[in-house]
Chains A and B, each alone.
Chain A
Amino acid sequence: MRAHHRRGPAAALAAVGAVVLLAVAACSGSAQGATGRTASGGATLAESTPLDDPRAFEGPSTAVVADAALDPVARDPKPTLPATVKDAQGTTVTVTDTSRILALDIYGSTSRIVYDLGLGDHVVGRDTSSSYAEIADKPLVTANGHELSGESILELAPTVIITDTSLGPWDVILQMRDAGIPVVVVDSHRGIDNIGGLVRQVAGALGVPDEGEKLAQRTETAVDAKIDQIAAVAPKDPADRLRIVFLYVRGQAGVYYLFGKESGADALIDAVGGVDVATEIGWDGMKPITDEGLIKAAPDVVLVMSEGLESVGGIDGLLERLPAVANTPAGEHRRIVDMDDTEVLSFGPSTADVLDALAVALYAPGPQR
């Protein structure tokens, strides 16, 4: 073998890229198994003693919902079919059969709503974000993490698909329409303001508007009540409120994003009585962080998703990889709050519980982990 080869750089890049991609494919393939059941059994705000000065607390905490079990508003409701709705994109869709339902989105909230409406028995498959006990055994239709697999969906022979635009590729959704399956697209925006709206959309598509109204009102009432409850515990003076950023961190490759306006994180942080730093600095959507911006913003608490935190090597790993965080008050006090990926931004029927768990982690975290 000769020592010197004149290599085509394109080829070398391709070869390296190929190896990386194989690794990624393998990793994302195995990541499916990691999503187990939703954690449960955390303390509730009502039974916890809030701190005098949440800012002074040192150390991380994990937000865990008190009870992850579902609580349907009806048992085996009878849908009024056919149901004709105009979906969030303006398409008129007629649903004639709700015996085999697929509700898919990146947050896992639509499937949750279907279960809470009492139609859980008719759900035939799940997305990666739906990992609560009742649905965990159903077949997965998203390959590679969050990518929809048309063939998996078709294999399950659904009679109606409910989704928003958060899962792609969009072409797969269109292929399902081509195949003759009614697809109802609901709002992809997640926030405190439209929880009820989302519930009503899903219920309308499935022909159970009354149950939907019941669930929507129950959820809205619970959320409003929870926000008031939290407000009572959180610092009154805006200057004393916790400054919170929501970071998306994943893996060793240095992918770090800041959740900004319209991502749902802003509504979440507002609801738990914190100051949404991203909105303050005018951050839109989900974009990569700049170190200076983060340090200047000086957050008191950093909110992350549990699996993401694990993938960067825990708190120590996060502080090591993101020196910018380490130089913020949050980093100095190791004030990192993590919560299950599938719960924290879902804004589904369990929103009140999620807010409660977060409030506990922020204001009454208990002994250090």
Chain B
Amino acid sequence: MTTTLDRPTTTAPARTRSTALFVGLALALVVLAVASAGIGQLHVAPSEVVGSILHRIGLDWGPSPAHPNGDAALWAIRFPRVVMAALVGAALATGGALMQGVFGNPLADPGVVGVSSGAAVGACTVIVLGLAFAGPWTVATMAFVGGLLTTILVYLTARENGRTEVVTLVLTGVAVNAVAGAALALLTFLGDTQAREQIVFWQLGSLNGTRWPYVAVVAPIVLLGIGGAVAVARRLDLLALGERSARHLGVDVERLRVVCLVLVALLTAGAVAFCGIIAFVGLVVPHLIRMAVGPGHRVLIPASALGGAVLLLAADLVARTAVPYADLPIGMLTALVGGPFFFWLIRRTRRSAGGWA
């Protein structure tokens, strides 16, 4: 037997890899944010973007935007949009990571499983019926309720003995998406022209028209959700062992599941409330992070949040600039990339799991 025990090699290379990842993502976020704020029909140079921010906080450094409406364009259109994109991307990716942790399945994503469309139905009900019982928070509240209801439905249907079978998960998602689609169709019929336009926009996803009041509603919801996710991250690792084994290690599995589902509903509501259905971010980002630094949730959750923010910012930039004068629906872009990725993920999971696990 060995007498001197080498310290386990968990720490050194894995930790440097995660640190590198965080630094890289944070850097990418800042660079992309500044670039994205400047690019568009009204062009503002990056230095002017930074200058505008500095001036706003009282430091007279850096150049102000040259165009007379440059500053206005930045603060009324671009910055809210950039912040919203980061928030929504972070919410979607974190929601995906949570969903995957709770269901123990890398294919669980709020969109695939129908939670986003449930939240969309909630939001569209507000639009069509003109509800306003909570003022500016009405849409977000109903999105939360809708998202929570579908989450519960998916959970109850798909789980069995602490395991969820992939097939059940996907089928439940199909069913929920179908029902939500029908509900949205009904709302479309009932609504007037303006409401109809908004519903169509829901199903495509768009960050066009983001304003600070909306950011003010979404930000606390998303930050709360991500904070909660970080708090449960450790326990999610243990869920990977299976429900019974996790219990043996002291995890109140039922309570953890409920907490996570509420968090997923919260995050999805924040993401969907003003921007519509944007799918696949919750599938792609956590998967890429896992491939880079492994499945440990303490790193996965915050890294997914950052990664999601970066991804959606990039997607929004493309949505705004790919076709001149057009604002492509961002949900379409994420589906264009995420769809094929989903195919690939299915094949890969099947191969490594040796069939449907």
Which residues of A does B touch, CB under 8 Å? 5-12, 14-15, 17-18, 21-22, 25-26, 28-29, 140, 143-144, 147, 149-152, 154-155, 157, 165, 168-172, 174-176, 178-181, 285-286
Q: How far is the CB of B286 from chain A (nearest CB, A)?
A: 17
Min CB distance B220 to A, Å, is 20
Taking CB atoms, residues of chain B closer than 8 Å to A154 are 42, 69, 72-73, 76-77
**Residues 253 to 296 of chain B near chain A (Cβ within 8 Å):** 279-280
CA distance A10 to B73 in the complex (A): 37
Q: Chain A residues near B25 (CB, 8 Å)?
A: none
Q: Of B107, B170, B193, B212, which one neighbours A285 at CB under 8 angstroms? A: B193
A18 touches B346 (CB 8 A): no
Partner of B208, one of A21, A172, A181: A172
- Cα A171 to Cα B192 in complex, Å, equals 18
Would you list the 8 A-B pairs with minimal beta carbon distance, nearest first? A171-B209, A179-B72, A14-B335, A151-B41, A179-B76, A178-B76, A11-B342, A169-B209
CB distance from A347 to the nearest CB of B (A): 17
Main secondary structure of the interface of B (DSSP, over half): helix
Q: Report whether A14 and B279 are in contact in the complex, using a CB–CB cutoff of 8 Å.
A: yes
CA distance A180 to B68 in the complex (A): 12
With A171-B209, A171-B210, A286-B193: A150-B279 Cβ-Cβ less than 8 Å: no
Known: A144-B325, A169-B201. 13 other contacts (CB 8 A): A5-B346, A10-B170, A10-B173, A11-B342, A21-B329, A144-B327, A150-B77, A151-B40, A152-B41, A154-B76, A155-B42, A178-B75, A181-B72
| B68: A residues at CB distance < 8 A | 157
Task: Pick the contact of A152: B210, B279, B325 (CB < 8 A).
Answer: B325
The smallest beta-carbon distance between A11 and chain B, in angstroms, is 4
Q: Does B20 contact A (CB under 8 A)?
A: no
List 24 A-B pairs, Cβ < 8 Å: A5-B346, A9-B170, A11-B338, A11-B339, A14-B339, A15-B335, A17-B335, A18-B335, A21-B204, A21-B329, A25-B323, A28-B326, A140-B325, A147-B208, A150-B73, A151-B77, A154-B76, A155-B67, A155-B73, A157-B67, A168-B194, A168-B197, A175-B76, A179-B75
Residues of A close to B129: CB separation below 8 A: none
B298 at the interface (CB under 8 A from A): no
Shortest CB-to-CB span from B58 to chain A, Å, is 20
- A interface, by DSSP: helix, strand, loop or mixed? helix
Contact for A25 among B72, B279, B328, CB less than 8 A:
B328
Tell me the complex Cα distance, A258–B295, Å. 56
A residues in contact with B83, CB < 8 Å: none
B95 at the interface (CB under 8 A from A): no
Shortest CB-to-CB span from B346 to chain A, Å, is 6
- Let me know if A29 and B76 touch, CB within 8 A: no
Complex Cα distance A15/B335, Å?
7
Nearest CB of chain B from residue A46's CB, rounded to whole Å: 37
